[in-house]
Structures are given as C-alpha cells and as structure tokens.
Amino acid sequence: MNMTWRWYGQDNDNIMLDHIRQIPGVTGIVWSLHEKVAGEVWEMERIREVADQITGKGFSTAVVESVNVHDDIKIGLPSRDKYIDIYIDTIRKLATVGVKVICYNFMPVFDWTRTELYKELPDGSNALFYEKAAISENPRQMVDRILQGAGSFTMPGWEPERLAKLDELFAAYADVTEEKLFDNLKYFLEQIIPVCEEVDIKMAIHPDDPAWPIFGLPRIIRSRDTIRRMLDMVDSPYNGLTFCTGSLGTNPENDLPAMIREFHDRIHFAHIRNVKVFDNGDFIEVSHRGKDGSVDIAEVVRAYHENGFKGYVRPDHGRHLWGEEKNCRPGYGLYDRALGIMYLLGVWDSLDNATSKGVE
C-alpha cells in the first residue's frame, strides 16, 4: 500500500509540501494542474514545473487527480474526437514525469455533490454534508449557495466559470440517458486505453458521488453491477478503478469489502473515507475511525491487505478541526486527514503483525 496525499499546488493550497513531509508514511503526492479546465491543453513546461516541486521534496508524482473529461465526450458530440486527442496528448506528457495512474470521473454536470460545506458535528468539528431533500430545489439556487460557501477556493467540477453556464449544460445533457452515457464512456475508453497500455499509465475512474442519479442526470459508476459493466466493456488491466469508500458508501446496499475483494486487481487508486448515512438518505462525512460512521474502515483495509494491495491510497475528505475551516478548502483540511493516515496505517500494521505471527 502506497500512502499518498492530495495537494492542490503551492499557489492554490494552504497546506505546504513541507507540512505533508511531517506526516509519517506519505510517499507520494496526488496532483494535477488545477488551473486547467476540461479540454485544455496541458503544456509540458507547466507539467514539469509542478512535478519538479513534488520530487524536489522527495515525493513520488505517480498519481494525477484529475484530468477532467470534457462534457462533449460525455454527451457524445461530434467534437468529442478533438477533446479525446487533447486527452491522449496529456496522457503521453504525464508518462514522461513518472505518472502511473490517472484518476478521472464521468459524472454529468456536477462532480461530487454536497448541500453544505461546513456542517457542524456534535463534537464541534464540521464536515461536508448532503441533505437529500435539498436536491429537489432549483439547481441554480443550490450551486450559487454552495459556491458562496466555498469562499475563495475552487472545487474540482464546480469551477464558477463552468457553472455559470449551468442552464446550457443541462440542456446539452437533456437526451443523455444511462445507456448513452455508458456508450460514450466506452467510446472514450476504446480510444485512450491502447495509448495507456503503450505508455504504462492506468486509468482509474472515480465512482459517482453520491451513488445515485441527481437532478434527473444519469450516474453510471455507482454499484457492483455498474462497475463490472464498465470494466468488462473495455477489458484491459489499464481500465480500472479509483475505489472510493465515501462515494460508494453513501448507498448502504453497496458491500464495500466484497467489492474490493472482487475488483482488487483493477483497483489502481483507493480513496478511503467514512460517511455516516442517516435513515432519510442524508449523510455527513466523519472521521476515518470506522465506529464513527457507516463504513467499516477496518474491514475495508483488511480486504486490501488480504489481497496484497500495492496500489496507491489516500485519506479522502476529512473533517475540519480546531477552527481550520476559516482558511481550508472544503473537505481538505490538514489535521483530520493526517489523523486518518495514522488510523489507516495502524490498521495495516496490525494486520501485518498478525500475519507475521500466523494469526488470522
């Protein structure tokens, strides 16, 4: 298991690489060119600049999250081939700086969706919250409220410039059914996976978050069956998963440890996050400690350990602790994610010790 940390860049993050170096066990930085919107060319000079910042502090650059997929590809417009060519160009460039995994998603219009960015928990910390009933409101009203709450931070998939065209985006997706979205994903993968095989970069699709359709938009990476369909339709080890326990864990019907055991050889990147799911469908993100939420994190780690997982892992969204919400990106504070790493490594180490002593 290779422990990593998502970093938004020295000009776009209040957490410095020198802070991350002080967290035991972190060997790699999950990075991107966060100023780029979907479909933009990634210049080699800029790629090298960020990669050099990371390797200069002793970290691996093996995982990029995300190279966002242009909406024309998801919708299936004739212009998609142009954007696929740009995507392939980016894949080839990233291979030259040591990238081995690209995390991406195929969610229409919105990336991960929450209705409140700093919901207070009983202990005084706060976290990302999803109120199911609030999704019935007008999407524009919800977007404006969320972006206002984000302050100066730009959230992936929620770039203000893109969401300013929200009505146009919804109109463009009006005829995109679940079947069409699957077809368009297959078309995309059929073009890029041969290149990935050539340059040794694995694609790792992120599940839909939450794991069900919202605002009438289809969402197709949400369960065991939909994941199996996606993997089988382009059956290459380079077509794989970012297995996110927080996203898939929003639906209590998903048996996460069983899914890890089934898909372990196609999981190239693991997001480990805990959520507390309420009976009415609302959920809030909580600490990584399994007993605090609805995801059995210890059993999740056990499933990876049983299969000798050697892929990349990161603690996903954490709570905001000790007042850091005043200047931290929603979901991406320093303290709770660092605590999460120590919890995950503690479980892993205990499994290592038990194995070495012959204890089940």
Active-site residue numbers?
A: 206, 244, 271, 316-317, 332
Query: Rounded to 5 degrees, what are φ and ψ at 128?
Result: -70, 140
DSSP secondary-structure letter at 107? -
Q: End-to-end distance of the chain based on CA atoms, in angstroms?
A: 20
CB 302 within 8 A of CB 290: no
CB 94 within 8 A of CB 102: yes
- Rounded CA separation 343/300 (Å): 12
* Strand residues in 7-115 grouped as ranges (E): 26-31, 60-65, 101-104
In the numeric block, which tokens belong to residue 181? 């979205």
Longest dimension (CA), the chain: 60
Radius of gyration of the chain, Cα coordinates, nearest whole angstrom:
19
CB 73 within 8 A of CB 195: no
